Chains A and B, each alone.
Chain A
């Protein structure tokens, strides 16, 4: 049973650099979600896809953030011109449009120095 996998697990980058995270959902899941979590907080919704369509984006997702799911399978989350405030854990989750439960990956830690 393969769950949601995320890569890389940890990323340290210099301010101003671009970073990209990848998420592979559970294979039969057509919905994929990105969340951001900072220390001491719960996950905050960023965006979600149904198949390859990006159906909703949070206002938290500034113009420097872009997410794609080109073939309706894996997804990437790119952050351009990183800022120190982007330091957080980026969580991916997947689920189905007929179900009401989402399952999370282990997360990708981003540290911007």
Chain B
């Protein structure tokens, strides 16, 4: 599986934007970039995903480099509830069968300062 690299931890002030980087230099042409986050005492939850173009949803934005070797998850206005561990994960072509699975790294622990 292609590997991702993220900083172990980051801090941000409340109500400011947060940019969480992820490097994935060995990404293949068919790998999707997924982001999950894990709030304290909960299981991981889906945040956003993309292939080539930048993506926006109600939770966050995903900026993907032109060469796809890196991406950035953007939280436009961080709140205390955004404090979590954020995982950047590569997923191959999504299919409805087969042994596809999520492989987690150690992620980035985001601390929000009030």
A and B form one complex: no
- Residues of A at the B interface (CB closer than 8 Å) are none
